Amino acid sequence: MFLAMLWMERWLKFLSDASAQYAPPQLTYTAAGKTPEASQAAEAEEARLLQDALDERDQAVAGLLLARGELLSQLARVSGEAAAARKEAERVQAAADGAVMAERQTWAGENDRLKAEQRRAYRELALERAAARAERDAALLAERHAWAGENDRLKAAQRHAYRQLALERAAARAERDAWAGEDERLKQAQRQLRVAFAVERADALAAQASEQAAAQADADAAAKATLAQLRSALNDRDVAIAGKEAALAEAKRTLATTKDDLAEARAEILRLRSEAERARTNEREAQLTAQLDAARSAGSPAPATAQPATAHPPRPDPSGATAIADTPAPKTRAKPRTPKARAGAQASAPERVAPAPVEARRPEPARETPRKARRDIAPGAKAGDLVVRFRKPADWAETPFVYFWDTDPVTDKPAWPGKPMQAEADGWFVHRFQGIRAAHLIFTDDAGHQTPNLHRDESGWLDANGDWRTDDDPEPAT
């Protein structure tokens, strides 16, 4: 049907296009004033053109009739196919309806059979329930008879128990009356005892109050005497504390002077060691040169070059001087000088120059101890990390800081006063330089106290006296 409608639509469009294409030409009429010959020629021309147009239109009509016949034949063929398809669909639908009807009839018979079985099962269940109900009623009746006899027996026992209870209550009532008279006698005796006890207690309280008043007077006198003694002892202690504070201030000034002297002595030792090292190196080079010249002059092979005496190459100093390498040296502790010796040293020593700013101070040489096998001194730090520990003096602030620069490898300098150190046991503070092998550093409390410029290329411990240690168990502070 759809194809027939499509062909009909195309055929109508074709007719409309053909009618527009083969429309008859417009006839022209002879205007007034022309000659009859010209008018006849024009009419003949128009008649010829009209005849040609009619011939072309007849041809178009014949083509349209042919096309219409083809369309009608195709429409008839399509209509036949549609009718055949409709008949096939009706046949298939009828077959489906028959199958559904047969299936419905089958299910209806099955449903009737199931309903009959269900009714039979219901009847059997009703019979079973009736039999069970009859058995249960019989059992209940027998149990009721048994309980009726047991109830009579219990009632007789209960009446006997009631009689026994009445006899016992009468005996208890008589005994209670006897105990009531005894109780009244005991209450009278108790009241007499309470009166006697109240009199004795009043006498004892009066005596105790007089004794307490006398003891309180003695205690007040003793307390006043003790308070006077304590006030006198407190005044003596204040005087002693003031003297100790003055002595402590003097000791702090002496300690500061001693630290300055020690720093100058260390700088002088560093310079002398550097000069001695250069001298030994120059002397060794001169000896090797002389041996080489003697060997060359004698024609013998040159001796092997000996290694220099230093264990490590010299480390450059930021201030311009050359410091010796970290060679193992025995650890010594400088003895504190007496005030007279310090006064003599100050008188004989030249005038001390004011210390340079923090960044320009000369690094203090680290006092090394002989290296030995030891366990890791920094739990949690990676191998190769620099770990420094510091025990602050007693007059420093609560938390020390570490300020560092010129690290290896190079890192950014922190803002002053540096990084706060973490507290550990026994008064030690620790800072771990992650991934850093060496650094210049200063310990400070950001309250006016700080160490000189220091340099470390291995982990160590710096105590309150300014001594470095590299062993695992540093000496406790005194």
Distance of CA 447 to the CA centre of its chain: 36
Return the CATH number of the domain spanning residue range 378-478: 2.60.40.10
pLDDT of residue 2: 67
Cα 377 to Cα 374: distance, rounded to the nearest angstrom: 8
pLDDT of residue 351: 41
399, β-bridge pairs: none
Residue predicted with more confidence, 421 or 240: 421
- Split at pLDDT 50, 70, 90, the class of 388 is very high
Instruction: Provide mean pLDDT across the span 435-439.
Output: 93
Our CA angle for 392, 396, 398, nearest 5°, is: 85
Cα 400 to Cα 420: distance, rounded to the nearest angstrom: 6
Residue whose entry in the numeric block shows the structure tokens 């489906």? 96
Number of H helices, E strands in the chain: 3, 11
Lowest mean pLDDT among 59-73, 146-160, 373-387: 373-387
Residue 443 neighbours by CB distance under 10 Å: 24
Torsion of the alpha carbons at 379, 380, 383 and 385, rounded to the nearest 10: -90
Identify the burial level of 444 via C-beta atoms within 10 angstroms of its C-beta, where 0-12 means exposed, 13-18 middle and 19 or more buried: buried
Q: Which token pair is 449? A: 């106290």
Cα 466 to Cα 440: distance, rounded to the nearest angstrom: 16
CB 400 within 8 A of CB 421: yes
CB 317 within 8 A of CB 362: yes
- Mutual angle of helices 36-298 and 339-348, in 10-degree steps: 100
322, β-bridge pairs: 316
CB 50 within 8 A of CB 25: yes
Instruction: Provide mean pLDDT across the span 160-185.
Output: 90
Instruction: Provide mean pLDDT across the span 238-251.
Output: 89
With H, G, I as helix, E, B as strand and everything else as coil, classify residue 23. coil
Q: Where are the alpha helices (DSSP H) in 299-350?
A: 339-348
Residue type at position 418: G
- Split at pLDDT 50, 70, 90, the class of 31 is low
pLDDT of residue 326: 39
CB 427 within 8 A of CB 391: yes
Indicate if the pLDDT at residue 438 is higher than 60.
yes
With H, G, I as helix, E, B as strand and everything else as coil, classify residue 412. coil
Q: Which token pair is 89? A: 């669909």
Domain extent listing, the chain: 378-478
